[in-house]
Amino acid sequence: MKKNHQNLQKGLLSRHVQFIALAGMIGTGIFKGSSDTLAIAGPSVVVAYLLGGLLLFIIMAALGEMALAFPNLNVQHLVNKAFGFQVSYIVGWLYWINWTLVTIVELLAAGSFLQFWFPTIPLWLLSFLCAVVIVGINLTQVKNYGELEFWFAGIKIIALVAFIILGFSLLFGIIPSSIQDPLSNYTANGGFFPHGIGGMFSAFLVVMFSYGGAELIGVAITETKDAERVLPKIIKGAVWRVMIFYILPILIICGLMPWDKVTGTDSPFVQVFSATGLPGAAHIMNFVLLTAVLSAANSGIYATSRTLFSMAQSGVAPKVFAKLSAKGIPLTGIFLTSVCILAGVFLAYLTPSQVIGYLMTIPGFTVMLLWSSICAAQLKLRPLYKNQPAFQIKWFPYTTIFALASLSIIFIGFVFNPNNIIGSSVSLTIIGLLIILSFLVRKNGLNEITV
């Protein structure tokens, strides 16, 4: 079996990968999407985030264990090794479609945030300039991507820490404000479960989508120095940090204002900052939101190009995507993604905003399928470990089976939710086409990644 000897650079440091994982999860899901989850579930959404965090830990642990058992294999490689060409084909291309759509929307969002300061410049031009900058960064050495993501994520985390400190100071009266009896907001206006248990489980769909991006660790692992030593620490740290950065801000928002007063127009973070009368609050939060969406777009280009590279290695994508530059960068994959992004930005500008909203439900499907494939791959590959990794998931296989069953229930709920009918139809059509293509496309190159 012929091997592809081209390898990606080992240019990512431990701090880069930790922040890449955080950047993938802490983005518009918390800064903007929290208004959606609060509208669906009220304060009980905190429980949904806790349960989602439990699933996240199981999936991350399963992924970390496999990454140590099979060094230099990323998520797509592992799925290929476990289930072969057809499943790998479907999962790989779904993941590429997912991040391409996310990147398009994030760049449009970046342009809209820039219009806050430059209202006379058209949206398409600002979005195009953002795309040029982000693509340019990804065309350089991978350590530059990691460094930019490190600082992007750092800004988001600093903003969340400041919000948490300020919020608790307001909640407990350390900082005086006009908010009366804030703690009563947890039980007023319908109680902690205003829409019942059903409302909490409905919010689960948005919560799981918000946690999407954690699997970027599995994409970045092939470019990480000393992966075996740093990976367990990265996974444990990323999971508990992201749970804190979701749950504590939600608790603060629910305490400082009635949950039914959180609007979808502005970020709840902007609403809270504005309520405090903090000078320049709108500008501060707009800057944070801008860095959040640029960070997501940056991660999107990285994820799509590396997914194409790994798919080309296993014969799932044309071999041209397995070619690397002298600096170890998959230029062809970045080029294809860039063309799709530019086309998407242009078409999205011409079409009504509702179309983008519908398309954004597609990543919810792909995240569920990808995470399910990680669990299923671990169940399949565990007996094949040549050496038992130092980091292993506890209570195997029950924990993995629990996560897989939970994800399946969430996925079914997503499909039959009437609010997602357009996104569901588009997603199921794409999945059907990929299944057909997986049988029709001739297998080129490797059928399975060997180690």
Give 246's Cβ-side CA count (13 Å radius).
Answer: 35
What mean pLDDT do residues 178-197 have?
75
Q: Is 406 within the bounds of a domain?
A: yes
Tokens of 186: 């947890």
Looking up tokens 């909203």 gives: 357
Q: 95 near 78, Cβ under 8 Å? A: no
**Count: domains in the chain:** 1
pLDDT tens figures, 378-417: 999 888 888 777 677 888 889 999 999 988 888 887 777 7
Domain that holds residue 33: 14-440
pLDDT band at 451 (very low <50, low <70, confident <90, very high): very low
What is the average pLDDT value for the chain, to the nearest integer?
76
| pLDDT in the model for residue 376 | 93
The answer to whether 252 touches 167, Cβ cutoff 8 Å, is: yes
* Of 101, 96, 77, residue with least CA distance to 373: 77
Q: Is residue 105 part of a domain?
A: yes
pTM score, whole prediction: 0.76
The token duo for 316 is 């799932």
Top mean-pLDDT range of 144-148, 274-278, 333-337: 333-337
Q: Is residue 449 part of a domain?
A: no
User: Does residue 260 belong to any structural domain of this protein?
Assistant: yes
Residue of 240 and 45 predicted with greater confidence: 45
Contact 79, 92 (CB under 8 A): yes
Percent of the chain that is helix, strand, coil (3-state, to 5): 75, 0, 25
Q: What is the pLDDT of residue 399?
A: 92
Q: CATH no. for residue 26?
A: 1.20.1740.10
Residue 32 pLDDT more than 70?
Answer: no
User: Residue 163 — very low, low, confident or very high, per pLDDT cuts 50/70/90?
Assistant: confident
Q: How many CB atoms lie within 10 A of CB 360?
A: 16
Single-letter amino acid code for the residue at 75 = V
Among 64, 251, 291, which residue's Cα sits nearest to residue 155? 291
Q: What value does the CA radius of gyration of the chain take, rounded to a whole number of Å?
A: 21
| Burial class of residue 366 (count of CB atoms within 10 Å of its CB; 0-12, 13-18, 19+) | buried
Is pLDDT above 60 for 15? no
Please indicate, yes or no, if residue 6 is contained in any of the structural domains.
no
Within-domain flag for 7 = no
Question: With 60 as the cut, is the pLDDT of residue 6 above it?
Answer: no
First to last CA, the chain: 12
Q: Is residue 373 a contact partner of residue 63, using CB atoms and an 8 Å limit?
A: no
Helix, strand or coil for residue 12?
Answer: strand
Q: At residue 72, does pLDDT exceed 60?
A: yes
Structure tokens at 449: 């990644």
In a domain? residue 210: yes
What is the percent of the chain with per-residue pLDDT over 70, rounded to a whole number?
74
Q: Is residue 451 part of a domain?
A: no
Please give the share of the chain, as a percent, with pLDDT higher than 90: 3
| pLDDT single digits (tens) 297-355 | 887 787 788 778 877 877 777 888 888 777 777 888 888 888 888 887 777 677 645 55
Mean pLDDT of 33-37: 73
